Structure 1
Amino acid sequence: MMDDFKNEKRLHRRYAFQIVLQIREMLQALPSLVDIDVPEGKHFTVCGDVHGQFYDLVNIFQLNGLPSEDNPYLFNGDFVDRGSFSVEVILTLFAFKCMCPSAMYLARGNHESKSMNKIYGFEGEVRAKLNDKFVELFAEVFCCLPLAHVINGKVFVVHGGLFSVDGVKLSDIRAIDRFCEPPEEGLMCELLWSDPQPLPGRGPSKRGVGLSFGGDVTKRFLEENKLDLVLRSHEVKDEGYEVEHDGKLITVFSAPNYCDQVMFQLRGCSVTRTMDFLFLQLVTMPHPQVKPMAYANNFMGLFS
C-alpha cells in the first residue's frame, strides 16, 4: 500500500472502508488517557505533527525502521490538513495500528476535527480521493482518538499543552468524555490547543483558543501527578524541536519543509525508559508537484 501511495496510486474504497471501520472499533475501546509501558532496554519513538506530508512520513520509517512490536511509535496528533497527502498518511498510520496495535499509538490533535478539516484541506482531499461517506466516517473516528498518553508513568505526552487551572490530575483526563467534536473551552480543548510561554503564569493564546502557560504551571502539574516531563507537539520549531521550562517540557514537530515554505533539520525523538532522548534528524523529501492546501477550496474561497 505504501509503495502504491508513493507512486500516486489510490487504495480501493473497499479496503479503505475495512481499515477505517476496524480502527474505529479499536479506538473506541481505549481510554482517553493511555498508559504505555516501555520495557527497560527498549526504545520508543514519538513523532509530532505530520500534516499530510506522506513522503516525509515514509522517510521517518526509512530512517528509524517500520513500526513493529520492537519498534513502536506514537504519532502525537495533526496527521492531516495543510499537506496534500493526508489520505495517504492517515490510511498508513491506521493500517499499522490495525496490523499491530502495540506498534502504533495515535493521539488526537486540534486538526482532527470537522471545523479544521473543512478549512485546511482534509475534507476536500477525502472527497476527491475517496467519497463523501468517508468525510463523516473519518470525523467519527477522530472523535475516538485518545487525548493523551503517559509513558512509563513519567512522561506525559499530549498534542497541545496544559490547563487554565491548577490541580488537574491524570484521573481527570481519564474521565473526559472525548467522543465529540472538541469544545471551545475546558480540559479537552486545552489539551489540544494550548502552548507554553517563557514567562511564568498563564496568558491568552495567540491562537484564540486554549491558553499560554509558563514553566511554573508545568512544574506544578508534573509534581502533582508525580511525572518528570511534558512532551508535546502543535508548534513549528526552527530546529524541529525545542526544550523549554527548565528541561521539563519538550516540543517536537515532524513535518520538515512545512507547507513547502520552512526548512527544518530535526524532528522526532526516541524516548527510553531511562529518560534519555535521541533526536532523529530529518530533511525534507521530494514529493509530487501537488501544492500544500491543494484541496482547501473552502479556505481559499474565504479570500476570493
Structure 2
Amino acid sequence: MGCSSSSTKTRKSETSLKAALIIQNWYRGYKARLKARQHYALTIFQSIEYADEQGQMQLSTFFSFMFENYAHVHKEELELRNQSLESEQDLRDRHDYVDLIDVPDSYNGPRLQFPLTCTDIDLLLEAFKEQQILHAHYVLEVLFETKKVLKQMPNFTHVQTSPSKELTICGDLHGKLDDLFMIFYKNGLPSESNPYVFNGDFVDRGKNSIEILIILCVSFLVYPNDLHLNRGNHEDFMMNLRYGFTKEILHKYKLHGKRILQILEELYAWLPIGTIVDNEILVIHGGISETTDLNLLHRVERNKMKSVLIPPTETNRDNDTDSKHNKVGVTFNAHGRIKTNGSPSEHLPKHEWEQIIDILWSDPRGKNGCFPNTGRGGGCYFGPDVTSKILNKYQLKMLIRSHECKPEGYEICHDGKVVTIFSASNYYEEGSNRGAYIKLCSGTAPRFFQYQVTKATCFQPLRQRVYTMESSAIKILKERVISRKSDLTRAFQLQDHRKSGDRKDTICGILKIFLSYFFFRAAGPGRINYEGEQLAQCCPGSPKEAHSTLVETLYRYRSDLEIIFNAIDTDHSGLISIEEFRAMWKLFSAHYHVLIDDSQVNKLANIMDLNKDGSIDFNEFLKAFYVVHRYEDLMKPGVTNLG
C-alpha cells in the first residue's frame, strides 16, 4: 500500500511539473509576443518621428532660397532694415532687455538673486514643482548671464573624473520636467562633487522645456566647472518652430516672448558641441561620419552655426574670391525678421557646417560604412568600422551619444565602443520606454541607472500598456496613411498585375495585409480591397465633405505649412498682418518673376481674410489652399462647374 501511495504521489508530482512547464512556456511566449508588439509600436513612433525631421530638413531648401534671394528685393528696404537692426543690436544688453522689465509686487513666483547660488536652484525646483512660472525679467537675466559665460568656453569641454568625483551623463530630456526631477532625486543635485553633462535636446516636444532650460542654465551659472551643456539638434530656433518650444514660450510669456526667443537663438549658437572625458571618451549629441575631423571641430566658430535649416549660402560656399565676399548674407532670426549681414564671414563655410551637422544628427548602425541618414534627412549612418577608425585616429576609447529613444533608456553597440543614452522616459507614450543616465569614473566601466516616471498607466499590466502604445501608434500611422493614400494605391496597383486586388507574393502584398488589419474592410477570403474611400475615413475627425485628395494633401503638408505660416508671422502673434503678407509676397514674386503691385497683394490678403478682421490666422491660411485646390480641380478637362 505504501508503494502504491508513493507511486501516485510521484505521478501527481510529474503532472504538476508538466503543467507548470506548460504554463511557464505559455507565459514566456505570451510575454515575448507582447514585447514584440511593444517593439513594433516603438518602431512606428520612431519612423514617424524621423520622417518629421526629414521633412524639416527638406525645408532648408525653401529657407535657403529665401535667404539667397531676399537681397534682390528692394535694396533700399534692405539698407533701411540693416540700419534699424544695427541699432537694435546696440540695445541688446542687460539694461535694455532686463532692467526695463519690472517685476510687480503682485508676482508670487521665485525671485532670483544675482550672483546666483545653490539656494536659487532649490528655489526654482520647488517653484516648478508647484507649476509656477518664472517672471520674464529673471528668464532674460539668466539667459544673458548664461550666454556671457558660454562665450568664454571652447567648442569641446574637457572633464576629468576620479573615484571621489564621478561624472553623470544625461541624454535627451525634451521638456519632460518630471524626468529631470527624478534624476536629481536619485542621483543628487549638481555640485562641485557631483558633476553632470547634459547632452543636448533639452527642449521641444514636452510641455516644460523652458523650466528645464532655466534649471540647467542656473545650475551652470552656479557650477560653471561642474555642469556642462552640449548642443543637440533641437537647440535650434527653426526646429523649435515645428516641435513646440516656440509655441510654449509665446504662450507662457505673451508680452516678452519675442525677446526671450531672440536671446535663445544666440545662446544656442554658443553652446559647446561636445565634451571629452578623461581624454578617452567623446560625448556628442548625434554621432560621427568617416570625415569627422575633431581638430577642425575644435577650431570652428560655432556661434556662426545658427540653424541646420540655414545652410551656407552660395555667397560663401566656395570661400575663395573677394568678389563673392562683397555680397550680402541673409539670415532669419528667432522672431522671424530677416536680418542682413554685410559680410559672409557671419556664416560657416560649407565643409565646417557639414561637420557640425554630422555630430548633431548622425546615428550608428550595425552595417559597416558611412551612408546618408535617409531616415532623418541629415547627418549619416555610421558603422562599426567608422567608429573604430575615428576613435583610433584621436586615441579615444568610447563614443557616448544620445539622439535616439531606446526602450531601456540606453543601448550599447559597435563592440561596446558606442553608447546611446536617452533620459526622457515615456517619450512616445506612457510606458513606452525607460529613461537612463550614465555614471563615469576613470578606470572603471560605465554604470547605467534606469528609471521610469510613474504615472497611472505605469501601474497597469504590460498587456494594457502595450495596447495603449499600439493604439496611439496606429492613430498616428492612420494619419500618415491618409497623407500617402495616392502613393500607396499606385504602388499596390503596379504590383497587382492581374488587377485582382490581391497580391500575396510581393512585399506590397504583405504591406497591404498589415494595413488591412487596421484600416481596410476584407473583400473576401485572402483579398484586400484598396478601392473606395476607406482610407479617407480611417482617421476620426476627417472632414467628410472634403475631397479625399485634399484631406491627403493637408495631412501631408500641414506641418510644413505651419512652419511657413510661422515664418511669415514675423511677430509671432499667431496672425499674419497685411504688412507681413506683403513682405513675404515680394520675396515670392521676385523668385517667380511675377509683377504684382501692392493693391493686388492687399486684395489677395483681403480674400484670404475670411472673417475680415484685418489679419490671416492659420485656419484661413489652410483654407486658401483648399480654395486653390478646388479651382485646379474645376479647371481639369471633363469637370463641369456646377457652382
1:214-234 Cα offsets, whole Å, 9 max, x none, are: 000000101000000000000
Structure 2 counterpart of 1:124: 247
Question: Closer, same or farther in 2 for the Cα pair 1:259/1:4, shift >3 Å?
Answer: farther
- 250, 253, 263: which one aligns with 2:419: 250
Question: How far is 1:147 from its partner?
Answer: 0.4
Which residue does 1:150 correspond to in 2? 276
Q: CA RMSD in A?
A: 1.9
Q: Distance in 1 between matches of 2:431 and 2:236?
A: 25
Matched, 1:54 2:177: yes
Are the equivalent residues in 1 in contact too, given 2:237–2:307 (CA < 8 A)?
Answer: no
1:100 aligned to 2:223? yes
Q: How far off its partner does 1:260 sit?
A: 3.3
2:134 matches 1:4: no
What corresponds to 2:192 in structure 1? 69
1:18: Cα distance to partner?
1.5
Counterpart of 2:450 (choices 266, 281, 287) is 281
TM-score (norm. length: structure 2): 0.44
Q: Residue 192 of structure 1 corresponds to which residue in structure 2?
A: 360
* Aligned partner of 1:178 among 302, 317, 334: 302
Distance 2:175 2:226 in 1: 20
Of the candidates 157, 162, 168, which is equivalent to residue 288 of structure 2?
Answer: 162
Look up the SS of the partner of 1:49 in the other structure.
coil
Distance across 1 between alignment mates of 2:442 and 2:384? 24
- The residue aligned with 1:229 is 398
Structure 1 contact 33–147 (Cα < 8 Å) conserved: yes
Return structure 1 stretches of 4+ with deviation > 6 angstroms. Answer: none
Matched, 1:204 2:372: yes
Aligned to 2:441: 272
Read off the aligned partner of 1:252 and give its amino acid letter.
I
In the aligned structure 2, how far is the partner of 1:190 from the partner of 1:143?
16
Query: Per the alignment, in what secondary structure is the counterpart of residue 250 of structure 1?
Result: strand
- Aligned-partner SS, 2:127: helix
Q: Give distance in 1, aligned partners of 2:287 and 2:140.
A: 33
**Contact 1:162/1:218, CA 8 A, preserved across alignment:** yes
Residues 67, 73 of structure 1: 8 Å contact kept:
yes
Cα separation, 2, equivalents of 1:252 and 1:260: 18
The equivalent residue for 1:295 is: none
Counterparts of 1:272 and 1:10, CA distance in 2: 37
What's the counterpart of residue 60 of structure 2?
none
1: CA distance between counterparts of 2:251 and 2:141?
19
- Give unpaired runs (5+ residues) of structure 2: 1-123, 312-352, 457-557, 563-618, 623-643
- The residue type paired with residue 49 of structure 1 is D
Question: How much has 1:187 moved relative to structure 2?
Answer: 0.5
- The structural deviation recorded for 1:300 is 9.2
Q: 2:235 aligns with which of 105, 112, 124?
A: 112
The structure that has the greater radius of gyration is 2
Measure, in 2, the Cα distance between the counterparts of 1:129 and 1:275.
44
Alpha-carbon distance in structure 1 between the residues aligned to 2:445 and 2:364: 22
> Taking every aligned residue pair, what percent have the same amino acid on both sides?
34
CA contact (8 A) 1:52 1:80 kept: yes
Q: 1:149 to 1:284 in 2, by over 3 A?
A: same
Q: Secondary structure at the match of 1:101?
A: coil
Greater strand fraction, Structure 1 or Structure 2: 1
Aligned mates of 1:177, 1:190 — CA distance in 2: 16
Give, in whole Å, the separation in 2 of the partners of 1:301 and 1:61.
39
Q: Say whether 1:17 aligns with 2:17.
A: no
The one-letter amino acid paired with 1:86 is S
Matched letter for residue 89 of structure 1: I
Query: Unpaired segments of 5 or more residues in structure 1?
Result: 288-297
What is the count of residue pairs matched by the alignment? Answer: 292
Corresponding residue of 2:152:
29
Partners of 2:238 and 2:307 within 8 A in 1? no
CA distance in 1, matches of 2:560, 2:359: 29
The answer to whether the 8 Å contact 1:68/1:102 transfers is no
Q: Secondary structure at the match of 1:102?
A: coil
1:29-57 C-alpha deviation (Å, 9 max, x unpaired): 11111111123442100000000001111
Structure 2 counterpart of 1:139, from 265, 275, 289: 265
Instruction: Report the CA distance between 1:286 and its aligned residue.
Output: 4.4
Cα distance in 2 for partners of 1:227, 1:14 equals 43
Q: Is the 8 A contact 2:408 2:433 kept in 1?
A: yes
What is the rounded CA distance, in whole Å, between the counterparts of 1:237 and 1:99 in structure 2? 32
Q: Which residue of 2 aligns with 1:294?
A: none
Q: Deviations over 1:91-131 (max 9, x none)?
A: 00001001111231000000000111010000111112222
Give distance in 1, aligned partners of 2:354 and 2:187: 36
Counterpart amino acid of 1:17?
L
2:225 aligned counterpart, secondary structure: helix
Deviations 1:110-168 (A, max 9, x none): 00001110100001111122221101111110110000110010000000000242xx4
Q: 1:301 to 1:286 in 2, by over 3 A?
A: farther
The alpha carbon displacement at 1:3 in A equals: 1.0
Q: Contact 2:413–2:419 (CA<8 Å) still a contact in 1? A: yes
Q: CA deviation at 1:87?
A: 0.6
For 2:533, the equivalent position in structure 1 comes to: none
Shift of 1:202: 1.1
Structure with greater helix share of residues: 2
